[in-house]
Structure 1
Amino acid sequence: MGRRLFGELQFPARPLSFCGLAKELSVSTAPAADPLFGAAWAAIGLARPTRPWTLPVVNGVAVAAIIGAVAYRIWEARPPAEVLREEAILIGIGVVFAAVAVWLKASPRGSSLLLQLPVMATATVLTVLVMGTAGRWLGDDLPPLAAVSFATIFLHFEVGLHSRQFGYVFGIAILGLGVLWVYAVSQLMVSLGTVVVWTLVLIGLGILAMLTSRAVERDLGVQVERQSSLLATLSDLGEGLLITENGRFVVGNDAYVNLTGYTRDQLTAMPSLIELAPPEDRERLSTNLTKRLAGGDVPARYISAIINKSGSRVEVEVAIHRVTTRRNQLLTLVSDISERKRAETAERETETRFRILFEQAQAGMAFTSLDGHITTVNPAFCDLVGYSEAELRTLSLLDITHPDDVGALREAMQSMLAGEEEGRRIEKRYTRKNGEHVWVDLTMRLVRSTDDKPLYFQTVAVDIRDRKRAEVLQAARFAVTQALVTSPGWEKAAPGVLEGLCRTLDWELAEYWEVDVNREAMHFVTSWKRPGRDTTAYEASASQVTYRRGEGLAGRVWEAGAPVAMPDLAGDTSVRSGAAVAVGLHGIVGFPVRSGRRVVGMISLHTWAARDLDDGLVAVMNDVGSQTGEFVERKRAEVALQDSEKRMRSVLDNVSDGLATIDPGGIIESANPAVTKLFGYTEEELTGQQSDVLIATTHRSAFDNYLQRRLNLDIPVSGAHETMGKRKNGSLFPLEFVVSSMQVGPRHLFIATLRDISERKAHTDALEYQALHDALTGLPNRSLFGDRLRQALLAARRNQKMFGVLLLDLDRFKDINDALGHDRGDSLLQEVTARLRGVLRATDTIARLGGDEFAVLTTDAKHPEDVIASARKIIASLEGPFAIADQMVETGASIGIAMYPVHGDDPGTLLRRADVAMYVAKRSGGGYAMYQPEQEAQTLRRSGLAGELRRSIPQGELVLHYQPQVTLATGAVHTVEALVRWNHPRDGLMPPDRFIPMAEETGIIHPLTAWVIDSALEQLCKWLNDGLDVSVSLNVSPRNIEDHSLEEMVARALGNFKVEPNRLTLEITEGVAMAAAAAKALHRLHEIGVRLALDDFGTGYSSLLYLMRLPVNEIKIDRSFVSALATDPDSGAIVRSAVGLGHNLGLRVVAEGLQDRMAEAVLVEAGCDAAQGFLVGRPVEAGEITALLTGQSGLAPQADQASL
């Protein structure tokens, strides 16, 4: 069916062309019209058929011939002159009328029914008048002349073929001819034979017209069926198709009608279809239509839009072809391209979003050609490698790749081009423009075309320097361990150790120098260098020199017992430095190799570029130096007693880490005692077992995958890994392990290094617990309480419940603390905590906010009376006396209560209003108070106090007291801490905790801090002028740090008083120092030369990595740990860790709150540098400090600033 239909339409093998479509819709070969099809033309609205003859020519010849014949016959009949005159006039009129009729026939209006009927009637009347006037003289010639004349009139008006009313016109013509024929016969009274003959002629003409109409019927039916089928088919194709005449709608298929939303009648009634176009296109389309109809050159295709009946805009593509049979008719194909336009818009938006993402991405992104040549990069990539975009366009990825990584990158590219994989993720190094190597996590993908043709490479590089640095440092430790473990002696281990350090830490050359005790000199032993540049001359110079203490790099390291850096050798004139510069080496660092406290050698690392020490490198090399030194000393003792296998076994037995040898199948062959001790198996029980017997069941899958890569595939896996170990008794513990390969004769074995990290994990957990809990009472601290308060608010809002916040302040606590000492005050706080826990529910949160201030959160209260009941329980529990040491003390509590949601719906409001209520309760003599709005007025007292504080500075009411810091090793005082007091005219001497918070809230803290700095430095000048060796430390507020005002204050004061900056120490709390915003301020203060101390160390969230970057000179261990040294073993461990950490970082360590001799002994044993507290000195006025310093002035100066 489809093939037959499309065969009829003549497009079997290709889409229907627009010109072919125009020809199909242009009517062509119908010879005549038929009355039966007049209605059919009107129904389908198609253009009418063309004329069968060139009718104007035929009609003109026929009319001229008849007029001539009739005129000649009348002249020949010789009627009277009067008749001739009448006939001449009538024939002349007929000639003129005939010419007009022929002209109308040829015009576009020739098919108008309104013109057809008058013309036909006038021609008939003229014919009747001509024949009737001369009829009696024509005789027998009248019938044939009349018949031929009337037939000619009928022939002339066959234009009815082009009329929708053709059937009626044809019938009228036949009837008119018959009537005229009867009239002519009856008037002329011709013979019967003549009538019969010409009647038969007339009947023949009628039969001929009927037969002609039947032929037209057949041809027209075929044409209508064909064109109707074509329109229906085109409607099925979905394209809008229409014919217009002078811009007006003539006919269109369903697709076009549906596209506009109008009916055909509505479209036909429109003056012009240009009205459907958007307003901005109408003038252009109207101009183009005029040009097109006039035969001008106008594009046949264009893009526009249609505003459909609903008002929606439909994007369309229009193609126009002129219908040749109608001068003003156009065939138009309209295609809906809305989806295409939307797709193009979406594509442009996607491209824009990608461009923004590409430009603003934090990761470095680059596109390269198939040979790796860089074509496009984003700013992040330029920053990553240090080249400009223009410079990178001249390079390839291989040009900026570390030489050791070029092979892997090239292999990945070739693999993708070969179709083996679509992309790959690798870790590699780029070489920056300045020569620095930067590690990246590179994701590379080959982009292909739709026909699978490779187009270009797309890469995304993420900077992983920090992670790699940590991995590298850990890998260096293990590389050294593996080199030591897998070698029979130091002579063979040394190259491996040096190679491991160079490869993992990215140095070019490493040397080992050893101390000759007998000669009291250090000499060269061995070295290792990366392949590449020739450094033979420099290496040869090493064996030609020896160094004594203090000489050269080796002697300086030996003498100092600490790392020494020579970041740039250009300015050094020594022989070896000159040789190093000559071969291209510029940076050298040396690290001591120790055996216990004794330096036994030095490892030096060299690089092509200038390079200085960093904290991570120092920490690693300190470990490596100690490990190497111990190994060297041990091997010296064993070398004469053991062969290579025994030496390796000895190393395995003596390292603190568990070491086990594993064959390629994962079977344990041997284990050192550390493994048997760690897991509880004997070596015999472990030998022959699968290595995953040591791993918890839940972690074996990941462990087996690791071993599969390491053992079977021998894929190096960098860094140590953590899993869960399983002992023989089934207990689990956190385990750190790394597996490395070694060659033992012809056998290729693997050695697993195993380490129990339970203590480290526990320490991490303890630090996290300490960050969120009060060290003295174990209660949640302010931070954790705030978090739980926020969670309670969310839950209460969600469940539409209430809860209460209670703020509790102990009565007379300050008096007790001052009278009995801080240690007994701390004991009282612990007893109070125990009683609070005893009376409150498990669902309640109790927190110590600081000092003697506690907070309680009751989350299951159904009524305010429930919270009041809790407050009463608290007050009742505190009524009895407390047994503190050998004394009984009494205290009470003042409690303020605020309810959610009655008194506030955010944490700050609830706490503030609970504080207002607590103040009311305290002023009332204790007990509890529920917040009332009128209580806000009571805060005015504090506002008044703020005004008094502001006036206290110019009125001289502030004073400084000084508390000494005692050097534990010597008992000397070299530093005093300045503590501000307010000598209030009404309330007496007030400690800082009474007014400093208020000063911070009101902004008075800035002039107050300036006064303290000026006063402290003024007093310091006096002491220095008296010849007293002393420094001053003082606390600074977080507000001073946040507002960036501190640096200016300090610089101004130092300039005014001409004091050396290192005589002033500024103490900043740990929490403030850890804030990112504080880092810049601290570095600026450090640049001034002021010493910085980290106060309350151990109570905050400090990151060790961040701490190493801070420019601090000392740390002050918080009093909560120091005061608990005598009773709490955990506090002792924390203090020792803090001291060790501080010393490893090169910092001075001061303990706060020292109050008993037992704590002092612990601090001395831990190596703490100094301490302050009531045991060694209370805060006193400047005169007493002067006397103290004068009394010790006869002592020899002490090197208390060793960490500088």
Structure 2
Amino acid sequence: MFSRGTRQPRGLALVNSLALVTIVSAVALRLAEAGMPPVVVRAEAVVLAAGIVYGAIAVWIRSTALASSTPVQLLLMSTNVILAVAALGVAGPWLGSDLPPLAVGIFAAMLLYFDMGHNARHFRYVLAVAAVGLAVLWADAVVNLGVAVTTVATWTLVLLGLMLLAYVTHHVIDRSLVRQAGRQDSLLSALSDIGEGLVITEEGRFVTGNEAYINLTGYTADELLALPSLIDLAPAEERKILAEQLATRLGGGEVPVHYESALITKEGKRRQVETSIRPLTAEGPRRLLAVVRDVTDRHRSEAAERESETRFRTLFAQSQAGMAFADLNGRLTSTNEAFRQLVGYTDAELQGVSVLELTHPEDLPLSEEVLRLMLAGETPGYRIDKRYVRKDGQSVWVDVAARMVRDPKGKALYIQTVAIDIRDRMRGEVLQSARFAVTQALVTSPGWDQAAPHVLEGLCRALDWELGEYWEVDANRESMHFSTAWKRPGRDTTAYEATAAQLTYRRGEGLPGRVWESGRPVSVEDLAKDQSPRAAAALAVGLHGLAAFPVRSGRRVVGVIALATWAPRQLDEALLAVMNDIGTQIGEFVERKRAEVALQESEKRMRSVLDNVSDGLATLDQTGVIEAVNPAVTRLFGYEEKELVGQKIEVLVATTHRGSFMSYVERRLTLELPASGALETMGKRKNASLFPLEFLVSSMQVGPRHLFIATLRDISERKAHTDALEYQALHDALTGLPNRTLFGDRLRQALLAARRNQTMFGVLLLDLDRFKDINDALGHDRGDNLLQEVAARLKGVLRATDTIARLGGDEFAVVSIDARHPDNVIATARKILASLEGPFTIADQQVETGASIGIAMYPIHGDDPGTLLRRADVAMYVAKRAGGGFAVYSPEHEGQTLRHSGLAGDLRRSIAQGELVLHYQPIVLLPARTTYAVEALVRWNHPREGLLPPERFIGLAEETNMIRPLTEWVLDNALNRLCRWIQSGLELSVAVNVSPRLLEDHSIVEDVAKALATSNADPARLTLEITEGVATSAAAGKAIHRLAEMGVRLSLDDFGTGYSSLVFLKRLPIHELKIDRSFIKQVAVDPDASAIVRTAIGVGHNLGLRVIGEGVEEREAEAVLIEAGCDAVQGYLIGKPVPEDEMTDLLESGRELSESPPGPPPDGEGGLKGGVKTTTPALSDSLADA
């Protein structure tokens, strides 16, 4: 069964062979009965032998695949005929005569029929031919006596026998064919309903198959019929095993038989197929139905899936990211090594654990919600930052990305999770969060007692601690006691907390005492290894990790914050640094609040002593009109009561503050604003002096109406104290210079600004020479005096924009910003050294000292504060070893020597001796040249040098701190002159330049207010000119806005030379733009300059500003400005600066101002104006008056 052996003979092959052998056998019998000559016997023997051999061969050939070959079929048919005729020829003599040709033809036709036909309709034609042949034979015998009657009779019997045999054979074959056709129809019907199907014999030979199977193999049906067995379609190496297995399984009666094997198509392609074999129930020979399914694509897909699975498992096992799989209930089923290391559990311990069980309690609500949404199908997955709680109790921040894995039909299968350790990233965010939490608690609390619980809570939540305590130092008793605590809800720590109230620490005792003694943070990674007094109590409630850090006020520890957690914990350097900073911040707050409390108590005591002095009180109606005031109001503001009654309450407030003040009042009068909050504003007395005022409106129901009571309090003293405390916290007590804290902040700000603006700045470290010897010789008090004198000289030579600080001892530091070149920083060093060259008079003794300066520059020598300070320090010691002077960390540039003027002493006396004078230059409107303003320009009428232009003494005034009194003099004289012009009927305003230094230290606000009050001038008629550089300074911004609130007009001078942006200009409260003279000078001849000027005019007009062109010296330039729409001009074409009497004559006479000859200003006339203006280096070689 299913072997590759012979095939049983079927159909016509058997019939033909039997017929031939029968004839030959008859001849043999005749030979045996009659003695024949030897030759005849041998011939007949040969024919007999040939017939027997041919019969055997024909039977074998017709049972093999060779029978389907057309040449083989023709050979068999021709051989049949030849042998039959030869046999008849031998048999003829035996029958009595030779065989007639007609009989031979009839016999041959019948044989051909057997060979070629088994069609029923052909058989009657053969019988008809045989009948006609017999009739002809009989006719020939009777009529012509050509053949003996006996011979004819004999052949008639032979042929009739053959005809009978043929007839019987025909009916047998016909019935066989009918049954075979029925079976074929049944097979074809069975195959029509399956994919690739075929019918085979028990030996595995192909019988028939459908088109799908034939297409699969690539062979034709005839080619498949010719195969000994379909096993031959399998690869050679599989055929033997496949045949044995099938034979065993089919022979054993296994039905159906399923197997999988390879199939080699006609084109040589290998296909993988699944075959199912079962028997057919049709009648006839046993046939098998084979259903074949091509599974090649499935195998490839499965192979790809296996490869993908292998790659995934490799990735899963080797991934640095934690990966885990969970079932639809969120319980873990598989984790990789990275995930297990992340949470500290083994694979066995994690099996069946819910992902929520690993989640930090504070992160549970969010985790539960996103998991619920994913399980409900509302989201395919989620990604969140959260904390896992490790096996050791520590928390670890992770970036968790989870998704629901579904099958192609959308059915949920399992949850895939990827967890990435983000502790490094979160550490910075956590530290920042801690800083913010502390700052917010301090800012929003009135005092430390109220802020302490919020500070502890913020630290614990941000830094992931369970419990926080504050221990306060009692300096009088030299002890530390428990103050307050905060803990997370949950586990009970009452026993541990109770021990705190019972303990008092001294220096070095317990963890808080050790922090107090060392002044540094201290941590205990595991309390189980510590012998501190509260260790046992902490372990009893489950606390293991402990850390504490000092709260400082300056160098003094005023308290200790202690933090505890469940798990052992090791602190890193970043956290320790943040704790130090936070401790300093809290300490400064505590001390400041203590000072405020002390101040408030002092005020209370003062009020109790001076009980006749009370706050000012005023009753208001619902529109804010004053109905009545108490005597304190009249004393405070200088008004009589009758002068105030009927006036709006805003009359007691500075003009610049009335907008915000009335908004507050209206909201209180309409009861929209609670009465608990007071408003700080600026009060204005009758004499126009201003002072800080605390204003509060409260209400009470009196009969049918609300009575509104305004409380007015002068808070000048309190503000002064608060400002002083803030100043002390950031400045050195001995010299008044910024201390190390403020210097560090300024250095960081300079670094950020330089990065943003891509500029350079320098860091200079300065150490005094021979200071120790002087200190030892004269005493520490005299040493302190010398440090104060040095600080004063340093402040005198550095710009207001620079920062100079005392770091400690005799070490000073300077940040020199906006250095356009290393030479600028070196020039600053030279300036410092020069300032220290002269002797110092200390206690009537002449003392000389020098300095060693180290310089480091950003970005050349470093891009962070630490690097710059370290490298400046290295350079300082290089300079010290060289005997003093300065050294650059990377000395690539030659220094430039800065010479100082010898006029410092004379300048200090110039104001008192009346040597300063003002000249005025007109500013006119275009195109009519109507004078609407003049600019005040200072000159120094030196007794020896003559009339000095500003560039000869303005810089000196800046360096010697004379710039403020000089400005005050200019403001007073310019405003007084303005008032006299106004009184004479002239409509005019005056412009005065302002020093950047005065804007940045805000002193200009007070000076302007004082000058306006003294002169009683209208603020709107005063224009202050500020440069672009200082206008963009954050330090000057507050002063600029306060000046604008006072009603003073502001003009942006030298526009185009700085770096103003449109956004900046829009936000700045300015009224005018003055285009720099460097552009005006070229406007008529240089297209680029003309384009810049037109653009500036357009910018100004779009922002609603008046645009002025300064430095107009030629009519052509004026014409271009008129055509471009410029509003006003100033310059030598219009009029040069002249003394005030001459300007008065010009204004009163109404003469045309263009009578002065056009042309550039003479040398020394231009440059720095009004004694209070500086310029950028880009303009230093083209300075001139506008």
TM-score range relative to shorter protein: 0.3 to 0.5
Larger Rg: 2
TM-score, normalization by structure 1: 0.42
TM-score normalised by structure 2 residue count? 0.42
